[in-house]
Structure 1
């Protein structure tokens, strides 16, 4: 089954403590940090991920680009993130497809649930992102521990026994 994750960007930034503090100082840095974390999570989880940012009051057409295979979408003028998320859910939902929407907006959760998608709260997503990061770091640490390449690994047991007796002086 193919899985998709649609993330309400500003909702998540406001809900995650570290990003919420960062947005008060530098919103662009908070966005970039979320993009980086979700790109890493997408690579680990295998879920195709769409990150949606609201540009409701910004004149112009919507914008979409890919960063590390993560699809980042900005709404067009007079379009809310919720509207774009609902449209994405409608486009993606189908047989052998599971769509998750990460938002803590209760109204949006009810709407997308009615369209057949599953909700994921901001806290649930944070836990999943943190767990994936720990797992990635664990795998990296294990890969860095060199495995001893000993000669006796390639020896048949009888030969190994002879060398062991020689080593002991028998």
Structure 2
């Protein structure tokens, strides 16, 4: 099995788990965007939902190199920073709900591992010259399945991002006040 195939498998598994966690637990069941003590957590999830489609596009939809590859790495690092911030926020955010359930902890653990694996594998698949800023923007085409997965997840991610930000502005009086000055 190639690095490209393996990376796609981990990306799809990650996306399935993240969809259940984000849509079912965060938005439908707990309605974090409506809970005053959870609105900062929802804001962090919203920023992650903004970066995920772009990162997926840059890493999987096409075989980018050079500046666009480095942009994908920067977006990945920003996402990692947001996820760390989210971990520290969740204790305060979920206290009134009795904390995170064991299932949610397990899902978060699995998602962190899956993200690390799919990112590492797809980046390890890049040839050394892809990392040069003076190199080509686009390398050889990925296999059709990689491009299909990359474009599909990117296109599905865009309405998820729109939903997250719509929910911020639906409750903007509360959520924007939760940001420390």
Higher helix share: 2
Under a length normalisation based on structure 1, what TM-score does the superposition of the two structures give?
0.27
In our comparison, the structure showing a higher alpha carbon Rg is 1
